[in-house]
């Protein structure tokens, strides 16, 4: 029997690098929150907490990101919603590591404004290509 996404609990992760960051793919925190709530409504998810950082996605010390991951891994949500994958982070290895860690705990990561399936496939292929280059150069 397939499980329904309708009863799932969601959290939103919002991030900008600076308080004035808007325009293009750099949506304001308000826009990211609105997209999170719209996504939950459209997909019958139960919206929960939003975790907000105003810091570069390259940094490891993103307090709210780390709080969100800890909460979700302890069963605090079934779905993590971001507007774009780059809101989740900027380091491809960290993104993939965290994405798969959450998946292992039956937590989905979704982006409101892009298809993560294609994005993650591209990242995986890039990682494989990089590993092959390193292997053949040894």
Residue with tokens 């982070």: 89
- Residue 83 structure tokens: 């507007």
Domain annotation for the chain: domains and CATH numbers:
8-137 (3.40.50.1390)
Distance of CA 49 to the CA centre of its chain: 14
What DSSP letter does each residue of 35-60 carry, written as one string?
HHHHHHHHTT-EEEEEEEEES-TT-S
- H or E segment and range at residue 79: strand 79-82
What is the model's pLDDT at position 1?
42
pTM (predicted TM-score): 0.80
pLDDT by 10s per residue, the chain, length 138: 444 545 799 999 999 987 666 555 568 999 999 999 999 999 999 999 999 999 888 888 899 999 999 999 999 999 999 998 888 888 878 888 898 899 999 999 999 998 888 777 767 776 777 676 677 666
Under 8 Å CB-to-CB from 84, ≥6 apart: which residues? Answer: 25, 27, 111, 113, 114
What is the model's pLDDT at position 112?
95
Residue 87 near residue 15 (C-beta atoms within 8 A): yes
Distance, CA of 92 to CA of 39 (rounded, Å): 25
């Amino acid at each position: 029997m397939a499980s329904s996404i309708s009863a799932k609990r969601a959290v939103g992760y919002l991030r900008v690098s600076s308080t004035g960051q808007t325009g293009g793919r750099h949506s304001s925190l308000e826009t990211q929150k609105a997209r999170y709530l719209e996504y939950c409504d459209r997909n019958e998810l139960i919206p929960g907490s939003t975790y907000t950082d105003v810091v570069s996605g390259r940094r490891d010390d993103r307090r709210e990101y780390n709080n969100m991951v800890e909460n979700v891994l302890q069963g605090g949500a079934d779905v993590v919603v971001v507007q774009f994958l780059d809101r989740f982070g900027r380091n491809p290895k960290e993104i993939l590591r965290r994405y798969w860690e959450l998946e292992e705990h039956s937590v989905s990561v979704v982006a409101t404004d892009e298809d993560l399936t294609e994005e993650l496939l591209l990242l995986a292929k890039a990682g494989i290509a990089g590993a092959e280059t390193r292997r053949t150069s040894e």
